Structure 1
Amino acid sequence: MSEEHRVDRAWRVIEAPVSAVYDALVDGSKVSHWLPPEGATGTLEAFDPRPGGAFRMTLRFSSGTGGKTTRDTDTVSGRFVDLEPEEFVIQDFDFVSDDPSFAGTMRMTWGLTWCAEGTEVSIVAENVPSGISKEDHAQGLASSLANLAAFVEN
């Protein structure tokens, strides 16, 4: 698989019902609380969870470095491709950046599967831009999953 078609994966078991996890994926007021990785806050500018609906979020990093859009921000625009209640959410994302290493559309599929402990959440990120290191992406995905777990397990 070439670097330009890189696929990153992450998963976690969350001790909450599938319905609660799915709701946290499709309710914008909830997404803005749990999705930003550690060290970031998020602001939703658009969130329309239906096929073809828009998604736009800006992440602001407290460190002041490493942003793709500006020195301390990442803005991502995208659309919901498909949603199946309590099963999956598929979104396409484009990073707002002048840096060509962040160009292209990244597809993220959030899969939900019932298990004895609650819900297994899997993330498959396809066509990950080369400007996102595998290590940073793994850390960001793990952080978002941990945030999601903390949000819905309470």
Structure 2
Amino acid sequence: MPRTDTGSRVIAAPLEQVYDALIDRAALTEWLPPEGMTGRFERFDPRPGGSYRLVLTYRDATGAAGKSTADSDVVEARYVDIVPGERVVQAIDFVSDDDSFAGTMTMTWEVTAVDGGTRVDITAEDVPDGISAEDHAAGLASSLANLAAYLEW
């Protein structure tokens, strides 16, 4: 069954800096991987119609349940829409032999200036059945916390 997951957080940083961190390769490598993972891009082209391939690797694979290998998740993503200073929309596919991770998930990252900084809202639509709601919520919250730590004054 298709599912939508969301997350949000106010980041104590100007909107321009927060938005830039959503489309900058070095910044994304630093803050996007959830807690317990590292990330590296095999390619990166941040423009509408562009794409990236991201390999997320568990630091400790002992309890890991990687989607692509025992210790990693590989993500193929396409930029569907980029509106500077407003939103980034990506179509995301997990590279996996497990059918429960099949299908394209659409992730929309929206930024809005608010008192005290920038509100970041994430909407993940058509989340694959193999990703538990609890784990996905924790991953989204972790990435947002990492973004705050990366940017906050």
Shorter-chain-normalised TM-score: which range? over 0.9
Which residues in structure 2 correspond to 1:132-143 (within 5 Å)? 132-143=131-142
**1:14 equivalent in structure 2:** 11
- What displacement does 1:62 show? 1.8
Aligned residue identity for 2:74 = T
Q: Unaligned 5+ residue runs, structure 2? A: none
**2:91 equivalent in structure 1:** 92
Q: Which runs of 4+ in 1 moved over 4 A?
A: none
For these two proteins, the number of residue pairs brought into alignment is 151
How far apart, in 2, do the equivalents of 1:48 and 1:18 lie? 22
Work out which of the residue numbers 54, 59, 63 in structure 1 matches 2:60.
63
**1:52 equivalent in structure 2:** 49
Does 1:76 pair with 2:75? yes
How far apart, in 2, do the equivalents of 1:7 and 1:120 lie? 19
Conserved 8 A contact 2:2-2:129: no
Alignment partner of 1:78: what SS?
strand
How far apart, in 2, do the equivalents of 1:125 and 1:135 lie? 14
Task: Describe the superposition over 1:14-44 as per-residue Cα deviations: whole angstroms up to 9, x where unpaired.
Answer: 0000100011001111101100000000011
Alignment partner of 1:5: what SS?
coil
Q: Structure 2 length normalisation: TM-score?
A: 0.97
Conserved 8 A contact 2:15-2:85: yes
- What displacement does 1:125 show? 0.1
